[in-house]
Structure 1
Amino acid sequence: MPEPRRFVIIAAPHTSNWDFLYFLGLTTDLGVKAHFMAKTSLFRWPLGRFMRDMGGVPVERSYNRGQVQQMVEEFSRRDEFMLTIAPEGTRGSVRQWRTGFYQIALAARVPLVCGLMDYGRKVGGLGPAIMPTGDYAEDMKKIMEYYSSVTPRHPERAGNEIIEASQIWDSQSKDSYL
């Protein structure tokens, strides 16, 4: 567990609703109070308290302050903050990961911690901490090396074209992903 306990947990591969339930149990066993982002409307009555108790952090999506900046500000307010993000952005089939998880860690100057649910070996856990350097392609090579042996619950839904995301990252401004 990296110290200080301020980092972005990469929740991958995320191909099933079971991933979330198993991950909650796993983080509890590891003593990790994991947080996640959710739209502000989910934090109103009657779900508000439940969402916060589960580790939810509301993000406002209706104005120009991007989600990345909101999470960077959240990191700056807290001494301990472990933000879990599924880079696929969905449980469905994807070609590439979204890059918000990387942008948040880079801007907040916190490491990325590889989290996993390996259904092939029936294990879950936290892997290495990787400090983002700003070279997305190189950092993703390290991350994907770790995930290369992980079997998702639904392998056909896993994003295998991760390097393609680095080409998009290089060809567009970072702000276009916010």
Structure 2
Amino acid sequence: MKKAICSFIYYKLLGWKTKVSVPDYDKYIICAAPHTTNWDLFIGKLFMGAIGRETGFMMKKDWFFWPLGPIFRWMGGIPVDRSRKSSLVDQMINIAKSSKKFHLAITPEGTRKANPNWKKGFYYIAQGAGLPIILVAIDYEKKCITAEKVIHPSGDIEKDMREIKLYYKDFKGKHPELFTIGNIQ
């Protein structure tokens, strides 16, 4: 039922398409980019529902007020207090390792503004928990979400981050001027 509803909204009402060739692992991290608008969350959740997959996401705890808090939690939201100095990466690694299924989507830019210095927490979570990273690209220009590349962290973060960033270079966010992969040699 959920898949049918998400498919109807995503494909029929909104007119989006998908390109998906990655396996549906029991556990994985989704690296989702470009992230230039809050609408990415809703389009992304519809996409995941339309292809019959689930995912959680981390979000600033400030958004978890009534009535949005219960809705975000129901959608898979995990409230994050960025002012606390506890290791969110370690918490997510422990949750991933102790879970039978674990699917977490993270936007590496860490903001909806152009940021060439992508956060690496998604990489460290995947590496620490031994999970693959599925690269999911949101392209508003083509109205298509693509999931066709999987990265298995090698431990060489510079090499892997370069490959990840280069994957996203041709995708257009809703506001393309708010997205950058930075200078890649």
How far apart are the structure 2 equivalents of 1:41 and 1:144? 29
One of 47, 50, 69 as aligned partner of 1:26:
47
Change (3 A) 1:61 1:40: same
Q: Deviations over 1:55-102 (max 9, x none)?
A: 012445565430001100110121111100011111122222111111
- Name the residue aligned to 2:33: 12
1:91 aligns with 2:112: yes
- Name the residue aligned to 1:73: 94
- Name the residue aligned to 1:174: none
1:113 aligns with 2:113: no
Q: Deviations over 1:33-52 (max 9, x none)?
A: 11012356766765553232
How high is the sequence identity, in percent, across the aligned residues? 38
How far apart are the structure 2 equivalents of 1:62 and 1:74? 21
Q: Which TM-score applies when normalising by structure 2?
A: 0.77
Is the CA contact (8 Å cut-off) linking 1:102 and 1:112 kept in structure 2?
Answer: yes
Is the CA contact (8 Å cut-off) linking 2:59 and 2:77 kept in structure 1?
Answer: yes
SS in 2 for 1:37: strand
Is the CA contact (8 Å cut-off) linking 2:166 and 2:181 kept in structure 1?
Answer: no
Q: CA deviation at 1:139?
A: 0.8
Q: Which amino acid aligns with 2:120?
A: T
Is the CA contact (8 Å cut-off) linking 1:15 and 1:152 kept in structure 2?
Answer: yes
How far apart are the structure 2 equivalents of 1:160 and 1:17? 19
Unaligned stretches of 5+ in structure 2? Answer: 1-21
Q: CA deviation at 1:6?
A: 0.7
Cα RMSD between the aligned structures?
A: 2.3
How far apart are the structure 2 equivalents of 1:15 and 1:40? 19
How far apart are the structure 2 equivalents of 1:15 and 1:38? 15
Q: Which amino acid aligns with 1:135?
A: D
Q: Which TM-score applies when normalising by structure 1?
A: 0.80
How far apart are the structure 2 equivalents of 1:131 and 1:78? 19
Q: Which amino acid aligns with 2:153?
A: P
Is the CA contact (8 Å cut-off) linking 1:137 and 1:163 kept in structure 2?
Answer: no
Is the CA contact (8 Å cut-off) linking 1:96 and 1:159 kept in structure 2?
Answer: no
SS in 1 for 2:153: coil
Q: Which amino acid aligns with 2:52?
A: G
How far apart are the structure 2 equivalents of 1:69 and 1:118? 31
Runs of 4+ in 1 over 4 A off after TM superposition: 39-48, 59-64
Q: Which amino acid aligns with 2:37?
A: S
- Name the residue aligned to 1:130: 151
